[in-house]
Amino acid sequence: MVFVHTKTVSNQVDEILLERIREGMYLPGIRMPSESELSDEFGVSRATVRTALAKLAASGIILRKQGDGTYVNAHIHEASAQFGNLWDLVQLIEGNGYKPSIKFLTIEKRPACEKEALVLAIDKGEDVICLRRLFYADQQPVIFADNVIPYSLLKTPLESIDGSLHIREIFRNYFNQRIVFAITDIRSTVMDDLAGSYLSGGLGRSILQLQVVLYGRNNLPIATGVNIFDDAILRLSLAQAWF
């Protein structure tokens, strides 16, 4: 097998395996080829195959049983998120089977309030960028997102920001930052005026609030976010497998 030199070998292996699972070449309930068979087939070492399989197992796509074999997990499609990845809203919407799109609402520069300053480890009153966006699942608005980012991190003019991009792209393109670590708080709350004006359904309805803090390369906070999540339309479900 010839590998293109863009990704690691183990990554290419797990992509092939994922493709085969999606195609139905490996079916739930039937043993997949053993590690040795796969390493022979791909012409890589068994350790490399194991790296690829470990990645699939961690996200619950396959289940591995010592002394027996490796099996496709028949239930994984029931979960919309893996790995506790609650901040990647695009992936969350895709996981629910919808086509995600992002509508840019507003962007503004203003001084940080005390609470924001504390979380972002900046001084109170220091400038922050406040970015408001609305996420759609197919044509329905499902998540109202409010992000606050220290202005000092911005590397390009404020006006140049394309608010409809994936948050990862925004940080890469305009802030030269990479998201390394995230903490998400999940709360139950009721629909307020602001969120209610964008999301469907009545005021006072019970909804989910995801409070996110994103950290960058130096383990410093690079953004906070409050995401109002319409759980009447989107399911927030997490999968976890053990070894």
Partner DNA sequence: AAGTGGTCTAGACCACGGC
Partner DNA sequence: CCGTGGTCTAGACCACTTG
Q: Which stretch binds DNA (CB under 7 A): 67-75, 82-90, 137-145, 187-195?
A: 67-75
Per DSSP, the three-state class of 214 is: strand
Residue ranges that bind a second copy, judged by CB under 8 A: 28-29, 58, 60, 63, 65, 71, 73-75, 78-79, 81-87, 179-190, 206-208, 213, 215, 217, 219, 221, 231, 235-242
Q: Tell me the chain's radius of gyration from C-alpha atoms.
A: 21
- Tell me the C-alpha distance between 68 and 26, whole Å: 16
Mark residue 201 as left, alpha or beta (left: phi above 0; alpha: psi -120 to 50; beta: remaining): left
Give which of DNA, a second copy, none residue 156 binds (C-beta under 5 to 8 Å, depending on kind). none
Give which of a second copy, DNA, none residue 180 binds (C-beta under 5 to 8 Å, depending on kind). a second copy
Residue 143: closest CA among 232, 10, 13, 30: 232
Using rule CB under 7 A, residue 195 touches DNA: no
Site mask, DNA, residues 8-47, x = CB under 7 A? xxxx--------------------x-xxxx-----xxxxx
Inter-axis angle of helices 35-42 and 9-23, nearest 10: 110
Binding positions for DNA, rule: CB under 7 A: 8-11, 32, 34-37, 43-48, 50-51, 53, 64-70, 243
